Structure 1
Amino acid sequence: MKKYFALSAAAATLFFAACKKEKNDTPTENENEEVTTVKLTFTNAAVPAEKVTASWKDLDGSGGTAPVIDKINLKANTTYTLTTEVLDETKNPPDNVTEEIEEESDEHRLFHLFFVNANAPVTDSVATAATVIPLDKDANNLPVGLEVSVATKNAFTGFLRMVVRHQPGTKNGTYGPGSTDASAEFPIEIK
């Protein structure tokens, strides 16, 4: 009888401990954003009426139909202000992910990287095409990247990749921490 009672008490303790563990008082981490559309607008700093726009759309996600991508044509040795708009057009009306990134700016960082070859690893990005300087900051004075200055250099033909990094609790201004919400690559020519 004592053995049965001891087993029953142990089982009850485990049951209540397991029930207690199921309750999670800590908030869950925000999931990555769903992104189907990226719109870039380059405004010539010297001639603000001169704008270059490009969009990248992948409405059915990776593995489906290839994304529709505009080619970017910029002038060499010219400074542009680049603004990035990010949308989820699977929803009706479309979800403006740009606003979510602004609201959670301490968790997000946009990068605009130049590559000679398409789909190259991030470590292959080149600084010879342009200098990119973020103009917007979060509450911790870290760059966000929705608005950047792009100072083109000499002629260049390759690719510009815009990457949204989701970095809750780990954002430090660098690419490394976190995960990728979106990555959109555009063919680009600077001449």
Structure 2
Amino acid sequence: MKKNLRLTLFAAAAALVLAACKKEKNEKPNENANEEITTVKLTFTNAANAAEKVVANWKDLTGGNPVIDKIVLKANTTYHLSTELFDERKNPADTITHEIEEEGDEHRLFHLFFSQANANVADSLGTVATVTPLDKDANNLPIGLEVNVATKGAFTGFLRMVVRHQPDNKNGSYGPGSTDVQTEFPLEIK
């Protein structure tokens, strides 16, 4: 009797251990988690003169006190804008740009212009510059890591660059999803 009880207890314990191991193997990491981005690097290259570049960085390693470069561009000029994203809390820094490229069908970068800092998205100005995305995802929707920015007249205000995380609902618009990172650069066009 004791032998049967021991075998039954052993079998029950083994079944629990196997079930626990099987559950762990089937668990998937949260693939829809927002990206960890501490640093954004914008590189504007004048389309008429590739030697003329403007580089601006936004860096927030502590989560509340970013260091931000001012952007100064020429009026009535087209720039190729390349955006690079990093998590510099890791050593070496993790390049998030590649993840955004690989998960292009889940991400969209927006470049918006405002006369006031922290303005509502609905208040973005279309009269400052025309932004044309150059990179597309598998569904032919823009990603926005590579864009052309055609400035118009003189302007003083802000450029907001936002990475929107839009798994399962990306449609090309700002609305769906959540924000991976939102940056705001002082901007002068002259």
Contact 1:29 1:168 survives alignment (8 Å): no
The runs of 5 or more residues in structure 1 that have no matched partner are 1-18
Matched residues, percent identical?
74
Whole-angstrom distance in 1 between the partners of 2:31 and 2:90: 22
Q: What is the TM-score with the length of structure 2 in the denominator?
A: 0.84
SS in 2 for 1:175: coil
Whole-angstrom distance in 2 between the partners of 1:84 and 1:126: 21
SS in 1 for 2:83: strand
Q: CA deviation at 1:29?
A: 4.0
Whole-angstrom distance in 2 between the partners of 1:30 and 1:127: 31
Q: CA deviation at 1:167?
A: 0.3
Whole-angstrom distance in 2 between the partners of 1:29 and 1:170: 14
In the alignment, is residue 186 of structure 1 matched against residue 188 of structure 2? Answer: no
In the alignment, is residue 82 of structure 1 matched against residue 108 of structure 2? Answer: no
One-letter code of the match for 2:116?
Answer: N
Whole-angstrom distance in 1 between the partners of 2:31 and 2:166: 10
Contact 1:116 1:159 survives alignment (8 Å): yes
**Structure-to-structure mapping, 1:108-187, within 5 angstroms:** 108-187=107-186
In structure 2, the CA distance between the partners of 1:149 and 1:60, relative to structure 1 (3 Å rule), is same
Q: What is the TM-score with the length of structure 1 in the denominator?
A: 0.84
Q: CA deviation at 1:30?
A: 1.9
Kindly provide the CA deviation profile for residues 140-160 of structure 1, in whole angstroms up to 9, marking residues without a partner as x: 100000000000000000000
In the alignment, is residue 97 of structure 1 matched against residue 112 of structure 2? Answer: no
Q: CA deviation at 1:26?
A: 8.5
Query: What CA RMSD, in Å, does the superposition of the two structures yield over aligned residues?
Result: 1.5
Kindly provide the CA deviation profile for residues 56-85 of structure 1, in whole angstroms up to 9, marking residues without a partner as x: 0000013xxx21100000000000000000
Whole-angstrom distance in 2 between the partners of 1:124 and 1:88: 30
Contact 1:157 1:190 survives alignment (8 Å): yes
In the alignment, is residue 53 of structure 1 matched against residue 55 of structure 2? Answer: yes
SS in 1 for 2:97: helix
Q: 1:71 — aligned with what? A: 70
The runs of 5 or more residues in structure 2 that have no matched partner are 1-18
Whole-angstrom distance in 2 between the partners of 1:32 and 1:162: 16
Q: 2:3 — aligned with what? A: none
